[in-house]
Chains A and B, each alone.
Chain A
Amino acid sequence: MRQLNHNIVIALVLLVACGVLFAETFEYKLVPGAIIGSKIWPRIVSIFLGGLSAIYLAQSIRAAREAGPGEAAAPFDIKAWLAENRNVIGCYFLYALFLISLKWLGMLLGGMLFVFVTLSFLGQNNARSHMINLAVAVVTIGCMWSIFTFGLGVILPQGEILPR
């Protein structure tokens, strides 16, 4: 039932999103001289997706009804969900922090810090492991940064901490 509930929620979210997207197409004005308006394709896509979402919703509701009462009683446990997805949520959060810090730390320092912190978060919590994580962070990011900066001539974000 947990899965089925998810399906219903996803279908509803998709339906609402399609409605919002469809409504937005009314804002597009026909440019003088244009034969076909810019709204045609977005409308087709949003109607197509909306129709499918409606079918998905109907299927999900039917499947939920057909599920036995034992299954239906299983409640959604947020704690279990968080524990199950701890690593994934942590990685996304750290990645977002890394992107925010790019302005100050730049790609080299920020990248090293991201790799080190993420490895420490995912790996074992002991001194030896942390030392290996540090070495991995410095060597891999240092190499990649050098290849892109000197080898491919890409100007990566420098940040404000390191001198330019």
Chain B
Amino acid sequence: MLFENIAGAFDAVFQLKNMSLMTLGVTAGLIAGAIPGFTITMAVVLTLPFTFGMSSTEGISTMIGVFVGGLSGGLMSSVLTGIPGTPSSVATTFDGYPMTRAGRPGLALGLGVWSSFFGGLISAVFLMLLAPSLAKIGLEFGPWDYFALVLFALTITASLAGDNLVKGVIAGGLGLLVTAIGEDEISGVARFTFGFEPLRQGFDFLPVLVGLFAFSQLLSDLRDSEKAQKPMVVSDKRIAIEHLAAIKAIVKNWTTLARSSLIGIFVGILPGAGGTIANILAYDQAKKASKTPDKFGTGTPEGIIAPESSNNAVEGGALITMMALGIPGDIVTAVMLGALLIHNIAPSPTFISTNPVLAYSIMVSFFLALFIMLGLQAICLRIFVTITRVPMYRLATVILAYCAIGIFALNNIVFDLWVLLGFGVLGYAMRRYGFPLAPMILGVVLGDNAEINLIRALATDSDLTIFFTRPWSLFFLMIAAFSTAFPWFQKHRGRKKWTLFFAPVLMMCLALPLSMMEGIFRPSVAAALFLTGVFLLYRRHRSGWALDPNLAANQQLREG
């Protein structure tokens, strides 16, 4: 069955038109990802209007092309200029740029390209194997569990805002509010419209997204006149990627590649977390595991392999959660989810079984896009070098105008353009005053889902205690609570004694819902978790609740 579906998907994706669109998508992604200030999310968002006239497979394949290209494109700028092209390639600059300055830009790029390729490949395999299994688990979910899962996704995204946790949750709440505006789909009652007729239709997803993310980002880039007028020139035009030397170095450091890819997949599966966290986490782990940690930061190959393989592996993981549960694994997959909704496809646990060709087309497109990326990297490098000669203000202004044309194409109404402007202003203000945008976008994407499931749950039974008596619902609510407390834990780790209880108590708490589940496997996991928690507590008790000074020092370093 699996192979039949994969063969069917290959047949759908391997069409000349589709492959051409994917190639265009990868090229656009590589270039957009390479330009500092243009995030992958922005590139995917701006591609959306072009996909309206395409079939679902073509549209999604094109966007996956942009997605994969964008992830790899970030490394060009990181390696050649020392400025991360996207947040998910921040850690690549730590060793990529020193290697370039040491006279090996070709090797640095080669390491980045091939690590991205292998990281993506590993996660594509995981995507194909794990997504159907996770979807089967998703079939056990009732509306209570789904609502709790949405809450978990929102809290984990907000908790990534660190010290700004409250602002992160407020941003998530604002996203939910946006989806509440307009006519109620069930009863037709106008909500939060204040008598203003155009608001009855509610806000379309795309103008809100482009306004919040792309529009506000462009204007943030234009704020500083001097910076906006300067081109970001890369002087050396004749850089040749050293493929063979890079592959040899990767084979030599295969454990770093495997570890970082697995970190990427795991971070990707977590709703809301993404490449930004994965690349730094993988770099950190690679440094800790290395025999020569002192070489990190001076241009060591491991320092490029770790972040680049993990940030590409993230996307396979993020697609697993999106396709199996309908919950985006990160902000880019949130946009992809919105794109699928525009094409009248709603991912859910039944998505893979009811739309196998399309579902596997997404996986196959992801897989093929990696090969296209590999082939296009050298060509795009030259385009990137040329584009870096254009001042930012020219690029940004043209894209602002493009936003207007693209958004108008969605519904052919000018009101959408005003929505774009309004959310552009809101997005800019939020950026300026420290409100993270990711939770808001997740709120916008998941708001309807949350409302529908809550209403279904309440219509089935008005008893609210069901949220705490159903195992999956309780499981998600518990992780939501712990993820809310996570920023405090991170801040005080190694300094306050209560942080010693965090991990063991989390394990023991999670054991409760797992023990309530049917079968043998999950209760066994519950028992193992509980015993590990008890063991950790015992060990810490034996050591006299001593705090680890290294953890505090590390945290201080991060804060510094």
Q: What residue in chain A is nearest B54 (Cβ atoms)?
A: A152
Q: Find chain A residues with CB under 8 A from B194 CB.
A: 24
A133 to B189, CA, bound (A): 49
Q: Count of chain B residues with Cβ under 8 Å from any Cβ of A?
A: 55
- The answer to whether A59 touches B166 (Cβ under 8 A) is yes
Partner of B401, one of A34, A42, A115: A115
Whether the Cβ atoms of A122 and B400 lie closer than 8 Å is: no
Interface flags, B107-129, vs A, CB<8A=1, else 0: 00000000000000000000000
Q: Contact: B166 with A49, CB < 8 Å?
A: no
What is the chain B residue whose CB lies nearest that of A30?
Answer: B187
Q: Is B176 in contact with chain A by the CB < 8 A criterion?
A: yes
CB neighbours of B433 from chain A (8 A): 6-7, 10
User: Do A91 and B222 touch across chains, with their CB atoms under 8 A apart?
Assistant: yes
Q: Does B471 contact A (CB under 8 A)?
A: no
Contact A155 B398 (CB under 8 A): no
Kindly report which residue of chain B lies nearest to residue A136, judged by CB atoms.
B394
Nearest residue (CB) in B for A151 is B53
Which chain A residues in 69-109 approach chain B with CB under 8 Å?
Answer: 84-88, 91-92, 95-96, 98-99, 102, 107
Take A6-B433, A122-B393 as given contacts and tell me if A107 and B404 are in contact as well, using a CB distance cutoff of 8 Å: yes
B417/A99 in contact, CB under 8 A: yes
Residues of A within 8 A of B405 (CB): 107, 111, 144-145, 148, 156
B181-232, CB < 8 A from A: 184, 186-189, 191-192, 194, 219-220, 222-225, 228-229
Known contacts A28-B189, A41-B454; A52 and B169 CB within 8 A of each other: yes
Interface string of A114-142 (1 = CB under 8 A from B): 11001100111000000001001000110
The answer, among B174, B401, B409, B424, for a CB contact under 8 Å with A111, is B401
Residues of A close to B502: CB separation below 8 A: none
* Residue contact A92 to B219, C-beta cutoff 8 Å: yes
CB distance from B183 to the nearest CB of A (A): 9
Contacts of A21 in B (CB 8 A): 177, 192
**Contact size class for A?**
35 or more
In the complex, are the beta carbons of A88 and B219 less than 8 A apart?
Answer: yes
| B50 & A122 in contact (Cβ 8 Å cutoff) | no
Q: Are B170 and A52 in contact, with the CB atoms below 8 A?
A: yes
Give every chain B residue within 8 A of A85 (Cβ-Cβ): 223
For residue A162, CB closer than 8 A to chain B, the reply is no
Q: A157 at the A/B interface (Cβ < 8 Å)?
A: yes
A102 to B219, CA, bound (A): 22
The reply to whether the CB of A14 lies closer than 8 angstroms to some CB of chain B is yes
B397 touches A38 (CB 8 A): no
Report the bound CA distance from A59 to B170 in whole Å. Answer: 13
- Cβ–Cβ contact A31 & B189, under 8 A: yes
Beta-carbon contacts of A34-61 to B below 8 Å, as 1s and 0s? Answer: 1110111110111011001101100100
* Nearest residue, chain A, Cβ from B415: A99
- State whether A88 touches B455 (Cβ < 8 A): no
Q: In the docked arrangement, what's the CA distance between A114 and B396, Å?
A: 13
Decide: B391 and A91 in contact? CB cutoff 8 A: no
| Contact status of A115 and B398, CB under 8 A, knowing A6-B433, A98-B404, A123-B229 | yes
The chain A residue with its CB closest to the CB of B166 is A56
Chain B neighbourhood of A152, CB < 8 A = 50, 52-53, 409
* Also in contact, A118 and B400, with CB within 8 A (given A40-B455, A41-B455, A49-B170): yes
In the assembled complex, which residues on chain A have CB atoms less than 8 Å from the CB atom of B38?
none
CB < 8 Å: which of A35, A46, A119, A148 contacts B397?
A: A119
Partner of A41, one of B52, B228, B409, B451: B451
Instruction: Give the shortest distance, in Å, between B386 (CB) and chain A (any CB).
Output: 15
CA–CA, A59 and B52, complex, Å: 45
Contact A46 B189 (CB under 8 A): no
Set of chain A residues within 8 Å of B191, measured between Cβ atoms: 24-25, 28, 38-39, 42
Q: Does B306 contact A (CB under 8 A)?
A: no
* Complex: A14 Cα to B459 Cα, angstroms: 31
A141 engages B222 (CB within 8 Å): no
Closest to B412 in A: A155
Q: Binary interface profile of B, 32-76, with partner A (CB < 8 Å = 1, else 0)? A: 000000000000000000101100000000000000000000000
18 further A-B pairs in the complex, CB-CB below 8 A; given A92-B424, A152-B53:
A55-B166, A87-B219, A88-B222, A88-B428, A92-B219, A98-B404, A99-B414, A99-B421, A102-B414, A107-B405, A122-B397, A123-B391, A140-B398, A141-B401, A148-B406, A148-B409, A152-B52, A152-B409
Give B residues with C-beta under 8 Å from A.
50, 52-53, 166-167, 169-170, 173-174, 176-177, 180, 184, 186-189, 191-192, 194, 219-220, 222-225, 228-229, 391, 393-394, 397-398, 400-402, 404-406, 408-409, 412, 414, 417-418, 421, 424-425, 428, 433, 451, 454-455, 458-459
Between A and B, 24 residue pairs with Cβ closer than 8 Å are: A24-B194, A28-B191, A34-B186, A48-B176, A49-B177, A55-B166, A56-B167, A86-B225, A88-B219, A91-B219, A91-B400, A92-B425, A95-B404, A95-B424, A99-B418, A107-B404, A107-B405, A140-B401, A140-B402, A144-B401, A148-B406, A152-B53, A156-B405, A157-B414
